[in-house]
Amino acid sequence: MRNFFTRSAWFVLLSAAGLALVSPAQAQEQELAELDRLSDISADEETGIAAAQDQARSGRLLEALATLERVMAVHPRSLNARMLHAYYLCAIDDQQGARVEIDNMDEDDFGEQNLVELRARCSTASREFPASPAAPSQTDGKKD
């Protein structure tokens, strides 16, 4: 009986280990499927911008920036995507990156007043979005 229990226990442990080995592959497939979905969404300018706004509202600003970058890659003349991208750079507190992007915007395309307002709102943008949870640290807690 003891021998049977030991074999059964090993079988359960090995099965669990096998499932653990499959999980990263399944996770990668899910991530690739999500990237495909985001690529499809960002192919349409309005849908991509709406998706980025939804991501930002839920505190996923880096994802929103990535979505807008995909929109701008497909629609390089998208004024709305460029302006929102600069604003989200402000929101993640990349003031320098946002300033460079805003300074590269043509007043004839965007309007002087819109750019003045964007610059003014940049310093407070980070307070307008919920904080997203911090990513788990990959360090072991030791200091070098």
Q: How would residue 132 be classed by pLDDT, with cut points 50, 70 and 90?
A: low
Q: Does the pLDDT at position 13 exceed 50?
A: no
Q: Does 142 or 95 have the greater pLDDT score? A: 95
Q: Which amino acid is at 11?
A: F
**3-state helix, strand and coil shares in percent for the chain, rounded to the nearest 5:** 75, 0, 25
For residue 37, what pLDDT is reported?
A: 72
Q: How would residue 6 be classed by pLDDT, with cut points 50, 70 and 90?
A: low
- What are 27-84's pLDDT values in tens digits? 778 777 776 676 677 789 999 999 999 999 999 999 999 999 999 999 999 999 999 9
Say if CB 105 and CB 86 are below 8 A apart: yes
Please state, as a whole number, how many other Cβ atoms lie within 10 Å of the Cβ of residue 41. 17
pTM, whole model, 2 decimals?
A: 0.67
